[in-house]
Chains A and B, each alone.
Chain A
Amino acid sequence: MDMRDVYTETLMELADKDDRIVLLEADLMNATGTRPFKAAYPDRFFDVGVSEADMVGVAAGLSAAGKIPFAASFGCFASRRVYDQFFLSANYAQLNVNLVGTDPGITALFNGGTHMTFEDAGIMRNIPQLRVLEPSDEVSLRKLLPQIAHWPRSVYLRLHRKGGWSFYSEDETFEIGKGKLIREGSDITLASFGMVMLQETLKAADLLEKKGIHADVIDVLTLKPLDRELVLASARKTGLIVSCENHNIYNGLGSAVAEVLAEDGVPARLRRIGCQDKFGEVGKIDYLMETFGLTAAHIVDTAEALIGMKKTA
């Protein structure tokens, strides 16, 4: 199932039980796939047209008056275009606005550089106390959405939109702020954020295994607050860590990992897979994965280079 359909379906289940749930769109209802919600709850659905800043402000007002809004747009607009409104009207005002940025990073595909958001999670990480998440599969999305709704403060949800993946089993439990150690090794830690990267990271772990290198694989799920203990425990064990993100290496997962490693004094070497401070561009997924250095092969090369450095050190 497309991740967007999991989003809509889960919110409809929530809305059925909780009449405070309301949805907002800014002329991308057809992209987010929330039309069924509109049909089922016409009084709790607002399409404000192409006016994202207004959408976030309206969402803040809805929250101030007791509703639980989810407001969505492409991630580029749901972050850059609305940053001040989200910062102030939603977060500074300590309200519960759930802002959903779709089409993370390279998944913007043909929409190209204007839409290819490699910075949304990073700028969101700078809002005090905000929770920043990117569920990595259908199960984690379905299980985290109710917690996001009922978390008393705002959340930025980075949502993979088209395409789905059921990685976790249905009885897996999730918690905002907690990552998952999904594969255990001893030689190196691969930490991943989001669906696109988790798929590549797992492929990379398989390739490394064939070369006799055993990797810990962590799915962080929540970028902020980072699951510090999970990351540090693995880094202490392996001494080597590769962060893997469909995002700029600045202020995303790589930065967050570097911060906790340095603060804790863990002697682990870090390399960051991600967009290397470039603007996005148009293309098919394979082209973009290659261009921005996000493939399993890039992860393997980086991991091997780190291991080589450890041996010669």
Chain B
Amino acid sequence: MFDTDLSHKALEIRKKTLEIIGKLGVGHIGGSLSVVELLTVLYYKRMKIDPLNPGMEGRDWFVLSKGHAGPALYCVLADLGFFPEEWLLTLNTGGTNLPSHCDRVRTPGIDMSTGSLGQGLSATVGITLAQRIDGHDNWVYVCIGDGESQEGQNWEAAMTAAHYKTDRLIAFTDFNKMQIDGLTEDVMGIEKIEDKWASFNWHVQRIDGHNMVAIDDAIEIAQGVSGRPHMIILDTIKGKGAAFAEGNPGNHNMVFDIKTAREAIDALDAKSGEAI
């Protein structure tokens, strides 16, 4: 049912992400793989969207503030038909519509241009306020990184969102415990992260970010709480599902080839019992 179908989807997206970055030879694999389950629940279960009409009035929105995870989102959007699959093979090559960081001008289905960390949450607050003015009862989702959370603008946006009671805004922190220079708690600790958001008057939950039932349940709970914006902290693993990336301190922006990607893909297939 929901669980098996979605698990299958998440597996496909994870494999595709490995493949397109591996084909290019370099990319932000770590932070792309840690959001796969979140993207799967949002795009295949939760979001009201129309691939043939990406700008549809009253649709749900998603801002990938940690814009460097674009490759994973591109795999989802291509699979849903926002643009042709072939585009995926142009990832990050000259003239592409799929640049390393999300770009609302170039890519159908991308709701906001991001890549300079810390800016996405403010934009999401603005989108949410506009939806309210226009009388829509849709949901506006955003994902920020744990390292990204160090940018002060997030906390300015946190106040604005709470002050204006943007309860249609559901934010996620991809708490994969790593940034570029090392472990997040070593570089610039952000714990207790739930307490920080709660003290800014947000409704906060913290769950296993690779458990899609838990993600879906948390969204359900968030949607039932009014008057406050929502933060769902996702405990995740950077590079999740690829042995060469998981736990590797250099897994932020990795150089690896298609052979390495294929090995990781085969391992995922073997693990899921789907190997042919």
User: Using a CB–CB distance below 8 Å, which chain A residues touch chain B?
Assistant: 25, 27-31, 47-51, 53-54, 76-77, 80-81, 110-115, 281-284, 287-288, 291
Contact = CB atoms under 8 A, between A and B. Distances in A.
B96 interface: yes
Contacts of B205: none
A291 B147 contact: no
B226 interface: no
Contact of A29 (B26, B67, B96, B181): B181
A231 B152 CA distance: 43
A283 B26 CA distance: 12
B118 interface: yes
Interface in B128-176: 147-148, 150-152
A47 B94 contact: no
Contacts of A51: 150-152, 188
Given A51-B151, A76-B116, A28 B94 contact: no
Contact of B115 (A25, A47, A48, A114): A114
Contact of A27 (B94, B99, B187, B250): B187
B94 A284 contact: yes
A141 B148 CA distance: 32
Given A47-B181, A49-B187, A113 B117 contact: no
9 A-B pairs with the lowest CB-CB distances in the bound complex, closest first: A49-B188, A114-B115, A283-B94, A287-B94, A49-B150, A112-B99, A282-B99, A50-B150, A114-B101
B152 A282 contact: no
A28 B180 contact: yes
Given A54-B152, A114-B114, A282-B96, 9 more contacts: A27-B187, A28-B180, A50-B118, A50-B151, A77-B116, A111-B115, A113-B101, A284-B94, A287-B94
29 contacts: A27-B179, A27-B181, A28-B180, A29-B180, A29-B181, A30-B181, A47-B188, A49-B147, A50-B118, A51-B150, A51-B151, A51-B152, A51-B188, A80-B116, A110-B100, A111-B101, A111-B115, A112-B100, A112-B115, A113-B99, A113-B103, A113-B115, A114-B113, A282-B93, A282-B94, A283-B94, A284-B94, A287-B94, A287-B95
Contacts of B94: 281-284, 287-288, 291
Contacts of A111: 100-101, 115
Interface string B90-106: 00111110011101000
Nearest to B68: A111
A50 B148 contact: yes
A107 to B, nearest CB: 15
Contacts of A31: 180
A30 B180 CA distance: 7
Interface centre among B27, B101, B180 (most CB of A within 10 A): B180
